[in-house]
Structure 1
């Protein structure tokens, strides 16, 4: 640590919504936002005013000029590698927004840089930090579920195509559409519920059905109706993911669909099962017994909550790990690389129209 055993000096790369979220959370957790970097002058000015921070156009200049302990990277996906690797090469601890990168090769280079660095890289899968998940994982550690053999993973928006004409819908900047944006959370969460088994193969179909229709975009989001607006990514995907030991994940991801919205995950185990919402509070556990008579039993979580969930909780765990000088066990770069391999396999399978293997 540079100045204090209790305060992290944070630099932020990419000063849009998520960059400001990380900065706000850092201050709320008692840390100091020292500097930020962004290519847009107006965004730099806004950030400097909000956080009393020095701002830079180039993150490399910021890395070398400032006395920092950690970096939060929240640029468009195509620029994760340069920002994260540059920070790791200087032995900074790094929080990288999901996904790890815009493609598998870039993600592999980030993982290699992390392995060679005295700093660590944590990836912001913030939906793991929830009350329902904490309760589920504790029961799982006690053996309550036996072996989780299947997860039904759903992240379905009815009208939720983000920023048509922004980097989210431009494959060159994002690396993909709904799979990269929200599917990455569903893939990570499903694997996390199964304790991250090795993935062996994937069969997937991707679809582009609603990107040119303004009645299917996020009602609160910007829609660019000009001829220059780019939408060259998928807006939904269906996949079957087979893991070692014939464990499986059925994945449904949509930015837009003619069905009810859902973020429900169902984990089926050999001794019990559970239904929980991604990043939510609700948890129901399913089991059976013979006490009194043969029966099935649904147990619902009705009280209790953990502090600092979601983005706030994820940022706190990152900053605590920086203070402790310990690589966090949650949201590791190795797990993020495993997710990236599944994303890559989904796109390969969709192009080929067949199941494809996943290298581990």
Structure 2
């Protein structure tokens, strides 16, 4: 890539998420020297809609797109992340993969191996890290305001929110799993991010499929459209995650539940704690002191409503332009998330806790 030329970026997978990424990229063109150069999808209707919306060429073959771009954002069904990411990385193209890194742990390992050997940078799209209240919480944690954080409650629960019943979201072969691998990946990543990604040693988990396959499933709205395919994935999961430093995470995720929705993270430290509600951006810090008189102090934090996807893209653009591996949303961290999800599924199958191997991850130079 000529550093004097705009950074050319393509989108692989032109569905709802792909179009959303394209919209964010176009909004950044005035601030960054970039261009949306094209897109790729196997569906003609998706290509036609993308061309009409963004005025760029689209391709049925990803290799043709890769001849025209410096970087790609991959937003396909999980099963195809490996194919498109490895092909790009082998051509030294920079890659941003929408979470998860892949649909299975074996596939994720192959992406990591390709990233380690590539001159292109690779970043994984866990955008919630870039939400303003999350960044405030993380800064306070780094400043030791909470002391030693020993436990995090991580919840991502929808009352009715099965995405696209009968589409790739609910077909295990294409997705790799259901609620756990979809929204659970976000919850696991954010909890581990707050804890500075300690080594995970053991996972005890249960997955369930209760609502999604029922013919009387009642909902008010749905992400995407219903399809005619199977529903053979989990729609909820609970897990307890142990780390080598003694910290723990309790995880509760669901696409559907007979309860109010909840996207809450509760941080417990020995000096202070916090409650973060990602659904509305509320962040409260809980502290106590004997200064003057014994008392509790609850501090509400207000932040600007910045779009975390745009900030994530900015970091990807900066890493791509500098040809330097990002220090956030790394392949290594995404592999840890994938291993926790894999261990949760295995724990459910075996009916007992599963140890996670501590073998070193591939190094990304």
| Contact 2:236 2:253 survives alignment (8 Å) | yes
Match of 1:319 in 2: 317
CA 1:218/1:319 → structure 2, altered by over 3 Å: closer, same or farther? farther
> More displaced, 316-325 or 191-200?
316-325
- Unaligned runs of at least 5 residues, structure 1: none
C-alpha separation in 1, matches of 2:350 and 2:62: 39
Match of 1:339 in 2: 337
C-alpha separation in 1, matches of 2:204 and 2:219: 27
CA 1:273/1:197 → structure 2, altered by over 3 Å: closer, same or farther? same
1:346-357 → structure 2 map (5 Å cutoff): 346-357=344-355
Match of 2:15 in 1: 16
Moved over 6 A (4+): none
C-alpha separation in 2, matches of 1:231 and 1:122: 30
Match of 2:362 in 1: none
* Cα deviation code 1:208-250 (max 9, x no counterpart): 101123434462446648xx53000000011000011221000
C-alpha separation in 1, matches of 2:45 and 2:299: 51
Offset at residue 123 of structure 1 (A):
0.6
Under a length normalisation based on structure 1, what TM-score does the superposition of the two structures give?
A: 0.94
Match of 1:41 in 2: 44
SS of 1:9 mapped into structure 2 = strand
Match of 1:143 in 2: 144
Under a length normalisation based on structure 2, what TM-score does the superposition of the two structures give?
A: 0.93
> More displaced, 348-357 or 270-279?
270-279
C-alpha separation in 2, matches of 1:2 and 1:29: 20
Offset at residue 54 of structure 1 (A):
1.5
Match of 1:273 in 2: 273
C-alpha separation in 2, matches of 1:220 and 1:211: 12
C-alpha separation in 1, matches of 2:224 and 2:290: 56
> More displaced, 346-355 or 207-216?
207-216
| Contact 2:163 2:222 survives alignment (8 Å) | no
| Contact 1:161 1:216 survives alignment (8 Å) | no
1:204-353 → structure 2 map (5 Å cutoff): 204-213=205-214, 214-217=216-219, 219-221=221-223, 224=226, 228-278=228-278, 280-302=280-302, 304-305=303-304, 308-353=306-351
CA 1:148/1:122 → structure 2, altered by over 3 Å: closer, same or farther? same
Offset at residue 357 of structure 1 (A):
0.6
C-alpha separation in 2, matches of 1:82 and 1:72: 13
1:202 aligns with 2:220: no
| Contact 1:162 1:218 survives alignment (8 Å) | no
SS of 1:234 mapped into structure 2 = coil
C-alpha separation in 1, matches of 2:57 and 2:243: 47
| Contact 2:177 2:234 survives alignment (8 Å) | yes
C-alpha separation in 1, matches of 2:316 and 2:260: 34
CA 1:345/1:200 → structure 2, altered by over 3 Å: closer, same or farther? same
Offset at residue 51 of structure 1 (A):
1.6
Match of 1:121 in 2: 122
C-alpha separation in 2, matches of 1:91 and 1:218: 44
* Cα deviation code 1:321-355 (max 9, x no counterpart): 22233222111111001000001000000000100
| Contact 2:121 2:323 survives alignment (8 Å) | no
SS of 1:245 mapped into structure 2 = coil
Aligned residues: 353
Match of 1:29 in 2: 28
| Contact 2:3 2:321 survives alignment (8 Å) | no
Offset at residue 72 of structure 1 (A):
0.5
C-alpha separation in 1, matches of 2:161 and 2:43: 26
> More displaced, 52-61 or 277-286?
277-286
